[in-house]
């Protein structure tokens, strides 16, 4: 009998390496594999499934919209598209903003990148350790050499500065810079939180030189950190452009580029487009996510469960540092056994993620329960011991 994994290898391009599991279904913060084994999902499709799996509000919204009007192209307006744009600008508290809807984080960033070119300036300053996506434009803003080098030349004039280094930004930003692009908390780098005054300093430096502050909230946005947007946790940070995706659709593909003030009108008719962006089904899904975050008080849950998660992680032998805010957490291990910890956790029925040899990332659904976290707490000693032993065995 051919397994799903074997069929995958025969039919799907090998861009991700072999899949760790074949998953069949999910409910809340739990998923089941094709053998019926149950897992607590602390990855949530990489910070995507804000409402967990198969949330009835999301299922209803998508089903109702698809059976009413599924797709129309951007020659036409639809109620979900306009309502979502209004909701996003409202949640940002911006009355002079406009939204461009797309289908992913990379696309949200492509639109923002193109928008910066319409300032008449061409340079962009980005941070070391950044991740902004895999399309050619988004990749040009992403610092990791292994991702970039096979595809060079990339769109140019991007300068990388060390993250969380105000003087490096001061040195790099001048009157030729169109925008400074930063993640409020670097996600793919392993949940790296800058000093509390860094983003405000970045904003001052950008604005002093007539450049835009563009915050990539693709991972940090939509309640992940306990606020609608991570920058709202900080005093006096008011970006010009915010990009969103991941949690926004709760699992339906959607991206959004929100710009305000002068930046809101930089893209003019003919400058940019998308066939699927603003699709009514994806927009209805996003509206259901936003409604449910409100009705189920998931911002508060993100803070409470996030504190619980951080507290339990810090208690375990081998965890030397816990980073992050709300339900976006990194755990630094005392040795290079994060990959082994992910494997041992899987055996024990928990889906974790490693962003590097010594770093775990935990970005569970916002609906994860206290009991699920207690179960993780109980499993971690064995998981970490097994992982440490496996790592030692594999090093000669
Ligand atoms: C995931 C991510 C992206 C890319 O999103 P895709 O939907 O995979 O294209 C961009 N920026 C940040 C901060 C991300 O975490």
Q: The domain spanning residue 151 has which CATH number?
A: 3.40.640.10
Predicted local distance difference test score (pLDDT) of residue 200: 98
Where does a domain end: 238, 266, 295?
Answer: 295
Contact yes or no for 244/258 (Cβ under 8 A): yes
2: pLDDT strictly greater than 90: no
121 and 29 assigned to the same domain: no
For residue 253, the ligand 1 atom closest to its alpha carbon is 7
1: pLDDT strictly greater than 70: no
Give the β-pairing of 38-41 and 30-33.
Answer: antiparallel
pLDDT in tens, 357-377: 999 999 999 999 999 999 999
Report the candidate in 339, 294, 126 with the shortest Cα–Cα distance to residue 216: 126
Q: Tell me if residue 131 is catalytic.
A: yes
Reading the block at residue 285, the tokens are 């899904």
119 and 218 assigned to the same domain: yes
Report how many helices (DSSP H) and strands (DSSP E) the chain contains, helices first: 13, 15
Q: How confident is the model at residue 274 (pLDDT cuts 50, 70, 90)?
A: very high
Where does a domain end: 242, 267, 295?
Answer: 295
Reading the block at residue 168, the tokens are 């490096």
Give the β-pairing of 359-362 and 328-333.
Answer: antiparallel
76 and 150 assigned to the same domain: yes
9: pLDDT strictly greater than 70: yes
State the Cα–Cα distance between residues 312 and 270, nearest whole angstrom. Answer: 52
CA of 46 to the centre of ligand 1 (A): 9
Q: Tell me if residue 160 is catalytic.
A: no
CA distances (Å), origin 229, targets 51, 181, 226:
16, 16, 8
State the Cα–Cα distance between residues 152 and 157, nearest whole angstrom. Answer: 13
For residue 174, what is the enclosing H or E element?
A: none
Q: What is the CATH number of the domain that holds 330?
A: 3.90.1150.10
Contact yes or no for 299/223 (Cβ under 8 A): yes
For residue 46, the ligand 1 atom closest to its alpha carbon is 1
116 and 221 assigned to the same domain: yes
289 and 336 assigned to the same domain: no
Q: Tell me if residue 216 is catalytic.
A: yes
**Residue showing tokens 């960033």:** 109
Q: How confident is the model at residue 3 (pLDDT cuts 50, 70, 90)?
A: confident
Mean per-residue pLDDT, 99-123:
98
Mean per-residue pLDDT, 18-33:
96
For residue 216, the ligand 1 atom closest to its alpha carbon is 13
Buried b (16+ CB within 10 A) or exposed e, 268-288: eeeebebebbbbbbbbbbbbb
E strands present in 199-338:
212-216, 241-244, 255-260, 319-325, 328-333
Mean per-residue pLDDT, 282-290:
98
116 and 82 assigned to the same domain: yes
256 and 387 assigned to the same domain: no
Reading the block at residue 193, the tokens are 């939180």
Q: Residues lining ligand 1, judged by CB closer than 6 Å? A: 104-106, 109, 131-133, 183, 187-188, 216, 218-219, 245-246
Predicted local distance difference test score (pLDDT) of residue 366: 98
CA of 127 to the centre of ligand 1 (A): 15
Task: Among 132, 163, 247, say which to mutate for ligand 1: greatest number of ligand atoms within 8 Å of CB.
Answer: 132
8 and 106 assigned to the same domain: no
Active-site option among 100, 113, 131, 350: 131
State the Cα–Cα distance between residues 21 and 322, nearest whole angstrom. Answer: 27
State the Cα–Cα distance between residues 346 and 383, nearest whole angstrom. Answer: 9
pLDDT in tens, 297-309: 999 999 999 999 9
3 state DSSP class of 257: strand
Where does a domain end: 269, 295, 321?
Answer: 295
Mean pLDDT of the chain: 97
285: pLDDT strictly greater than 70: yes
260 and 304 assigned to the same domain: no
pLDDT in tens, 172-205: 999 999 999 999 999 999 999 999 999 999 999 9
CA of 244 to the centre of ligand 1 (A): 8
Mean per-residue pLDDT, 237-258:
98
155: pLDDT strictly greater than 70: yes
CA of 219 to the centre of ligand 1 (A): 7
Domain count, the chain: 2
109 and 253 assigned to the same domain: yes
Task: Among 16, 245, 247, say which to mutate for ligand 1: greatest number of ligand atoms within 8 Å of CB.
Answer: 245
Active-site option among 41, 246, 350, 372: 246
267 and 302 assigned to the same domain: no
Provide the residue range defining the domain that includes 327: 4-54+297-394
Predicted local distance difference test score (pLDDT) of residue 395: 73
Helix, strand and coil in the chain, % to nearest 5:
40, 20, 40
State the Cα–Cα distance between residues 88 and 90, nearest whole angstrom. Answer: 5
Q: How far is CA 98 from the centre of its chain?
A: 21
Q: Give, using CA atoms, the residue closest to atom 11 of ligand 1.
A: 132
218 and 140 assigned to the same domain: yes
pLDDT in tens, 218-244: 999 999 999 999 999 999 999 999 999
């Amino acid at each position: 009998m051919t397994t799903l994994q074997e069929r995958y290898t025969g039919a799907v391009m090998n861009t991700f390496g072999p899949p760790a599991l074949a998953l069949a279904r999910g409910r809340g913060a739990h998923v089941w594999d094709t053998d019926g084994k149950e897992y607590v999902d602390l990855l949530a499709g990489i910070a995507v499934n804000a409402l967990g799996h198969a949330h009835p509000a999301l299922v209803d919204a998508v089903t109702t919209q698809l059976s009413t009007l599924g797709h129309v192209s951007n020659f036409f307006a639809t109620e979900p598209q306009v309502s979502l744009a209004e909701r996003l600008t409202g949640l940002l508290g911006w009355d002079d903003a406009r939204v461009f809807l797309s289908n992913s984080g990379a696309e949200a960033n492509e639109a923002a990148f193109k928008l910066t070119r319409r300032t008449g300036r061409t340079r962009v300053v980005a941070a070391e350790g950044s991740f902004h996506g895999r399309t050619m434009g988004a990749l040009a803003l992403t610092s990791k050499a292994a991702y970039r080098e096979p595809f060079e030349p990339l769109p140019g004039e991007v300068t990388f500065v060390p993250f969380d280094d105000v003087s490096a930004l001061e040195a790099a930003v001048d009157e030729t810079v169109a925008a400074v692009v930063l993640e409020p908390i670097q996600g793919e780098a392993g949940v790296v939180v800058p000093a509390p005054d860094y983003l405000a300093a970045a904003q001052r430096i950008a604005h002093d030189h007539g450049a835009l502050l563009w915050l990539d909230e693709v991972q940090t946005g939509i309640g992940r950190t306990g606020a609608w947007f991570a920058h709202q946790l900080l005093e006096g940070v008011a970006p010009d452009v915010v990009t969103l995706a991941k949690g926004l659709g709760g699992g339906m593909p959607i991206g959004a580029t929100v710009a305000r003030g002068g930046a809101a009108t930089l893209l003019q008719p003919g400058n940019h487009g998308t066939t699927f962006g603003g699709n009514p089904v994806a927009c209805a899904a996003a509206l259901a996510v936003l409604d449910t975050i409100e009705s189920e008080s998931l911002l508060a849950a993100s803070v409470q469960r996030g504190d619980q998660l951080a507290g339990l992680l810090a208690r375990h032998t081998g965890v030397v540092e816990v980073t992050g805010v709300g339900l976006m957490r990194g755990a630094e291990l005392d040795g290079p056994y994060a990959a082994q910890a992910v494997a041992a956790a899987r055996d024990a029925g928990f889906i974790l993620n490693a962003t590097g040899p010594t770093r775990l990332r935990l970005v569970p659904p916002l609906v994860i329960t206290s009991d699920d976290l207690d179960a993780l707490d109980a499993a971690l000693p064995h998981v970490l011991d097994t992982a440490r032993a496996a790592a030692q065995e594999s090093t000669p």
